[in-house]
Structure 1
């Protein structure tokens, strides 16, 4: 009996499809405060780099802004650019953290990815950044 799924693959794109250039910011008027901003979406998806099967997650982006806030429509487009990118779950969460920290330069940021179960195992990834002088 042959494995009919052995050669089955879906289109998988590389990291170059992650569009951080789409991100836009809004000036934050209270840089002296330590206000926590939190965005939550259950629509994040990327794909397994080996099979092309979808990895869906609830994503929480929590940060203390310094001088900029991320504009939400641009954040949605940025996150959607991961849709067909072949990337490990752990790498996706760290890449999002790196891109947003570089773009916003917050005092603190935490990205939490809660991925749907695969084989009965759920994955929760937490990546953090804290500005040294914060």
Structure 2
């Protein structure tokens, strides 16, 4: 049954910065103006601190938007807020790539950065 209860589990490597990327290609919600379905691909990228999201609960969370009217900007920022409230990540980015509606494509990117956190310097190998 769809719900907004995001379950978590302890980060198995909290001493290290690493990135978790979750691609959700079948997100749906409703247009708040017309009630027609909106389809999107959601990409969740985060550097966990103490908690990681459990994937089945994430699937049910995403499913909970299916019958809800929401503007693209609002639903993307709500996801980010819900994830940050539950996970308290070092860094998180939610990218919502919506399919065409009325001849327009919309992509919304929302980010969170924990106070004092900076990404590690990327190493370029020869």
Structure 1 and Structure 2 fold alike (TM over 0.5): yes
- 2:25 counterpart residue number: 42
Deviation at 1:88, TM superposition (A): 0.4
Deviations 1:98-125 (A, max 9, x none): 0000000000000000000112211010
Structure 1 residue 84 and structure 2 residue 71: aligned?
A: no
Structure 1 residue 32 and structure 2 residue 15: aligned?
A: yes
TM-score, normalised on structure 2?
Answer: 0.89
Tell me, which stretches of 5 or more residues in structure 1 are unaligned?
Answer: 1-17
SS in 2 for 1:32: coil
Deviation at 1:81, TM superposition (A): 0.1
State the 4+ residue runs in structure 1 displaced beyond 2 angstroms. none
Structure 1 residue 66 and structure 2 residue 49: aligned?
A: yes
Aligned pairs for 1:1-134 within 5 A: 19-20=3-4, 22-134=5-117
Q: How many residues align?
A: 116
TM-score, normalised on structure 1?
Answer: 0.83
Coordinate RMSD, CA, aligned: 1.1
Higher Rg of the two aligned structures: 1
